[in-house]
Chains A and B, each alone.
Chain A
Amino acid sequence: MKIVAVTACPTGVAHTYMAQEAIEKECKKRGYDIQVETQGSMGIENELEQETVDKADVVILAVAIGIEGEERFDEKTDEGKVLQIDPSDAIKHPVEVLDNAEKIVETTE
């Protein structure tokens, strides 16, 4: 499974990166392909190319603020393949978040 994610949070120093780490760890456990873009105090890191987004099976937006380049995910949103969560959910319940992401892939094939 190919997953892409964006994490972003108001102050952009802690939650943003912890959410990234939590998502990456859980995906590695499940053997998924994962790329997490962070939009934090250090700017945008690990930026997702449109092509990468298009090829993904599901998108996780663990964001608590508006993000840059939101249009990249328009098509996926229309297809119902975007999971919107709070960064804290990714940190506290990564297993559930990934379970939900999996459900989306299963029900929108």
Chain B
Amino acid sequence: MNDRASDVIKKDMILLQTKFQMKDEVLHALVQKAGEVGLISDETLFLNAVLNREAEVPTAIGYQIAIPHGKSEVVKTPFIGFLQTEEEFIWTKGHEEQVKLVFLIGIPAENENNIHLKFISQLSKKLLDEEFRNQLIEEKNQEKVFKLLRSINVVS
């Protein structure tokens, strides 16, 4: 059961120690990866969904983390992409939040698979845990980050 839920984390969607310093670059990189991995059927449409959501309320939530997300019919399966930047940067002009960890979340328009959504919400809650966050900031090994993100239990 656990395996299926944590399938929302794909190793290819983990980008570590990147040199990006702007929200646009980060989103572009993650969306492009999602397209390459086959998680979305249209990069432009998905990027628009994400940017629209950002425009409503920017998704930097403090703790150097941003959680941009998009809900769209071009999302084939729910997923979470993870990106670290070497240096923290300002997520949104005019807001002071600095970001170093970015989680891009893709949600299909139809919520058929709740277990995946449950995983995403569990991961979000886990981000409030300081130790967990520190591990995500420090870890430079893709395999280890992959295991760490998949270790979240889905409590039904």
Contact = CB atoms under 8 A, between A and B. Distances in A.
Interface of A: 9-11, 13-18, 20-22, 25, 40-42, 64, 86, 88, 91-92
B61 A15 contact: yes
A17 B122 CA distance: 8
A10 B127 CA distance: 19
Interface stretch (B20-28, B36-44, B111-119, B145-153): B111-119
B121 to A, nearest CB: 4
B61 A91 contact: yes
Binding site secondary structure of chain B: mixed
Contacts of B122: 17
Interface string B116-156: 01101110110110000000000000000000000000000
Nearest to A64: B57
By CB atoms of chain A within 10 A, which of B61, B103, B128 has the most? B61
Contacts of A91: 61-62, 128
A11 B125 CA distance: 15
B69 A13 contact: yes
B105 interface: yes
Contacts of A17: 121-122, 124-125
Contacts of A42: 111, 114, 117-118, 121
A65 to B, nearest CB: 9
B127 A13 contact: no
A18 B69 contact: no
A66 to B, nearest CB: 14
A89 to B, nearest CB: 10
A14 B105 contact: yes
A41 B128 contact: no
12 contacts: A10-B53, A11-B107, A15-B57, A17-B125, A18-B128, A41-B107, A41-B111, A42-B114, A88-B61, A91-B62, A91-B128, A92-B62
Given A14-B67, A92-B62, A21 B125 contact: yes
B113 to A, nearest CB: 11
